[in-house]
Each structure stands twice: as structure tokens, then as C-alpha cells.
Chain A
Amino acid sequence: MGRGEGGLTVDGTAVEAAAPTARRRRRFDWATPSLLGPPVGWLLVFFLAPIVYVALYSFHVRVLPGSAPGTALSAWHLGTYLPLFWKSVQMSLIVSALVVLVAYPLAYYLALSGTPRKYVLLLVLIAPFLTSYLLRVLAWKVILGDQGVVNWFLTKTGIEAAGHPLSFLLYSRFAVMLVLGYVWLPFVALPIFVTLESLDQRLLEAASDLGASRLQTFRRVTLPLSLPGVVAAFLFVFIPTVGEFVTPSLVGGTSGYMYGNQIHDLFNGGFPDWQTGATLSLFLLGVIAALTFVFVRFLRLGEARVA
């Protein structure tokens, strides 16, 4: 590779070109960890380690001074809390299903109807999600209360007698579910929109050319292909709502009390019991991890089938 008399420039460039490659190869050893080390490290310390502590507390490996002694097993008083967990799961399931049902046609319209303003409309749909969560809940307090907008309207129009407001509207399971649906609806349209948007529209045309009606095309082609987006959307609502405690504490009263409120009260309430609170948290985490795992498997299966 020495520099001969002839072709000096050629050799010169060759050497120049080889040098950075060599440099890059040497760099390779530290560049990846130095790029990924800080973010991964942050999450190891402030995300994974804390979960380990939750597990240690719930299995009584770590015990707080003053907490009731017990073995790992007796810490799992799940029998006591399982009905509440089930109630929260039911509420979240209903909310997630309804919200996905409402969002699907909207996303479908935006993605497939060829409307020229689809991104503007999508932004209009999502914008409320970007505003304050607490304030959107507050708005419903104003609307649903005994003196709220709905009851005022009903009295005004003579549908209900003055002084007999519909009091189930606020501080009820209904209120919690309505507000959770309201809060999450804008967000859910997004994953469905993305899958429908990336769907190969020629497939729809092919189905139609082969004589399928719109409904058949939808049932046999569009819906199955958009299922990953639907499931993702469903989980994006279900996961945060099943552990929700802010909305129920503001509009739920006693009948809207959820599993998340129980966890919250075990930590921040009048009679703190961190051990039990940690146990309940770990259980919630386990359920969500299982769901996420099943979902990812489902996605893989779908990919394999398409391929």
C-alpha cells in the first residue's frame, strides 16, 4: 500500500478513505454504549430498581417499621381486594371498548375517505388530549352536578321537576366511566388511524374488483388488517384507566371508587399500609405485563400471517 511514483492521487484517496473506516470501527466499541448508556441507565435506576423495591416490599423482604409482621404469602390479601380489582377491570373494559368503537369510524373516515383535510381534522380530534387532564375532569363536574348544566337544562325544559336533580350523574360509576371515556377518546383515534393509513389501499380495490361489497371488503379485509391498531388502542386506554385514581377521586364518590384509589389510600390515606399497597401495585403490574406480552405475541402472529 506504499505510495508509488505513479497514481499518487489514487493511492492517496484510497488511504484517506480507508482511515475513517478504521477509525469508525475502533469507535464502534464505545459509541453504542455511550449513546445508549445514559438513557438505559436512567431507566435502570429510576424505573427498574423502583419496581424491584415494590416487589421486595410486597414479599416482605423489606419491611417498614411499624407494619404488621407477616409472611410473603399472607401479604397477598388478594381475596380482600380482588372484588374491587374486578370492578375496576370491568369499568375499564367497558370504557376502552366504547371508546374504540366510537374512534374507529372516525379514524376510518380520516384515513380512507380521501378527505383532503385529514391531518387538520386529526389534529382537531387530538387537541383536547393535550389540554389539562384535571381541567377536563373539572368541566364535567360543572356539567354533571346537581346544579350543573344537564340538570339545569332538564329542569328548564320541564323534563324533571325543580328540586329533584338527577343525582346519579355525578359521584357515581357512570360519571367515572363517562369522564374516562371523554379523556381518552381523542388519544385512541391515533393508533387506529395510523394502521388504517398505512394499509395498502390496493387491497380494498382488489376486493371490490373481485365483487366484494363494501361491507364484505370491510369485514374480510380492512377490519382484520387494522386489528393490531385496534388492540393497541384498546390497551392504550385500558392500561392507564384500570389503575386510575384521579378521576374517580374527583367524580366517583364512593360507588366510583376504583382499585387505584385503594392503592393511593394505602400510601397517602389516613392509615398508610405500604406493604399492602406495594402488593396491590405489583399485582396490577403483573396483570398489565401479561396483557402487554399477549398483545406483542398477537402482533408477531399477525405479522407472520401477513408475511
Chain B
Amino acid sequence: MDVALSANGRRVIRVFFALVLVFLYAPIAILLVFSFNKASVPTFPLTGFTFRWYHDFATNREMQAALETSAIVAAISSVIAVALGVLASLGLSRRAFRGKGVVTAFLLIPLVMPLIVLGISLLLLYHELGVPLSLVTITIGHVVISIPYAILVLLPRLEQVDRSLAEAAYDLGAGALTTFRRITLPLILPAVVSAFLIAFTTSFDEYAVASFLAGSRETFPLFLYSQLRFPDKLPQVIAVAVVIMTLTIAVVVGAELWRRRAEARLGEAPTY
């Protein structure tokens, strides 16, 4: 006998699962449909098929500039966050010291920080220090957001990797850096890639903090938000939405599958 679910219960829950998936994906599907619809107002009935909105977006300079800005901010902030995350995770997994619990909690606490408060507090800091708002100020905020995520991905992986491998390298005369580069890094590489992608997509999509810390250059979410106020821009925005959603889902799902395969190849059960 199945102790968790009866046959009927299983059926009911499956139907429920399917309904939830419809609820989750229908809005995305509706955006997809409207991105090919001729009318400039996204409403039924559909008026005909067009690539016009995709064309418009491909030639919209402002939008491209915003995408570029976001790509820069996301790339830099995720590299810094992952580097700091690797350092922190190495320290937490390989070192014994007093107050480890407090340090761990402190490194993870930004997870429960409301983004609006993070944005405001950094705004006050910059104001006090006289730092002008720019892409740098946004990037710094995004690093704060991403550090805990990076640690949450990297730490379980490091706990899993056999530490005697690094010790063996060390005993064979490799320095700390060489050991890390040749032994530890290759073993945790899948997790590093995951952490990077999570940090990148988080930053690329981040609106709340950026809205307080942006200088003259807009990131893509800021641009998007400003466009939502103009109804005639909507179809174009929807077209971009579809492109970006498809890309992120493809990249993230692809990376996740790759990570699981890679970690399986490295000889341990994958961490999820």
C-alpha cells in the first residue's frame, strides 16, 4: 500500500497539479499570442499575424541601450557576487572557527531584507558619502542581493566534495591557490556556473533596488517599467517579454540539466 496517497488522492492531486500549471503558464502563453497580434491594443479577438512588434523592438535604440546596461550590471555584479560567495563558502566549509553560526547567519541575512529597504538604505549611504548615483551604485546593491544565493548554491556542493582531495594536493606540494584552481574549482564548477546564472538573472530582472539607485542610465527593468505607462508601447514590450522569458527559461533549464549531468559525471549524486 502506498502510505502517502490513495489511488483517488493521486488522481485528484494530478488534476490539481495540471490546473496550477495552466494557471502559471496561461498568462505567459497569452503574452506570446499577443506578441504576434496585429492590433496595437492587446485584446481579443485577434486581428491577424505580424512580426511588426519584434521588428520594432529590434530597431528600438533606447531599448537596446537599456538591455546593454542591464547586461553590464548583471555581468559585473554576478562575477563579484560569485567570487565573494566562493570565498565565503570555502571559509564556512573548510575552516573551523568560533562564531561560525553568527557569520553564516550574517552572510545569509540579506535574503530576508525587503528590497525596498535595501534600496533606501543604500541611497542614504551614498547620499552621506556624497557618491553620485550611477551603474556602479546599482551594481553594488545587486551584489548584496546575490551573495546569499551564491552561498546557498555553493556551500552544499563544497560540503559534498571530498576534502581529502584538496588535502592530497596540498600534501603533494601544491599551494593554496594551485590547489583551488586545479582541484577544488573543477569539482565545484557546475555549482559555480549555477550560482553565476542565478545572480545574473536576479540582477538582470531587478527593479526595486535599481529604481532607487539609478543614475542617468536606465537598466532594462527601469526602462520596461517606464514603457508600461504608454499603452501604445505595450505590444512591443510584450514582444521583448516573450523573447526574454523564452531565453531565461531555456538558459536556466539548460544549465540546470547540464549541472546535474556534470555532477553525476563527477561521481556524486547531484544536489538540487
Contacts and interface: CB of A to CB of B under 8 A. Distances in A.
A135 B31 contact: yes
Contact of A35 (B10, B95, B122, B260): B95
A259 B211 CA distance: 17
Classify the secondary structure of A's interface with B.
helix
Give chain B's interface secondary structure class: helix
Interface string A125-164: 1011011111110111111010111001100100000000
A298 B238 CA distance: 44
Nearest to A41: B84
Interface residues of A, number: 92
Contacts of A140: 27
A53 interface: yes
Contacts of A133: 205, 207, 221
B112 A38 contact: no
Interface of B: 1-6, 9-10, 13-14, 16-17, 20-21, 23-25, 27-28, 30-31, 34, 41-45, 84-85, 87-88, 90-92, 94-95, 97, 103, 106-107, 109-110, 112-118, 120-125, 128, 140-141, 143-144, 147, 170-171, 176, 201, 205, 207-208, 211-212, 221, 224-225, 228, 234, 237-238, 241, 244-245, 248-249, 252-253, 256, 260, 272
Contacts of A28: 95
Contacts of A240: 114-115
B248 A54 contact: no
A234 interface: no
Given A31-B95, A46-B141, A285-B114, A109 B17 contact: yes
Nearest to A194: B272
Interface in A9-62: 17, 20, 24, 27-28, 31-32, 35-36, 38-40, 42-43, 46-47, 49-51, 53-54, 57, 62
Contacts of B249: 127, 130-131
Nearest to B202: A130
A208 B171 contact: no
Given A138-B31, A277-B120, A278-B120, 14 more contacts: A35-B95, A36-B103, A46-B125, A50-B121, A50-B124, A51-B121, A106-B16, A109-B17, A138-B241, A142-B42, A182-B24, A208-B3, A239-B112, A281-B121
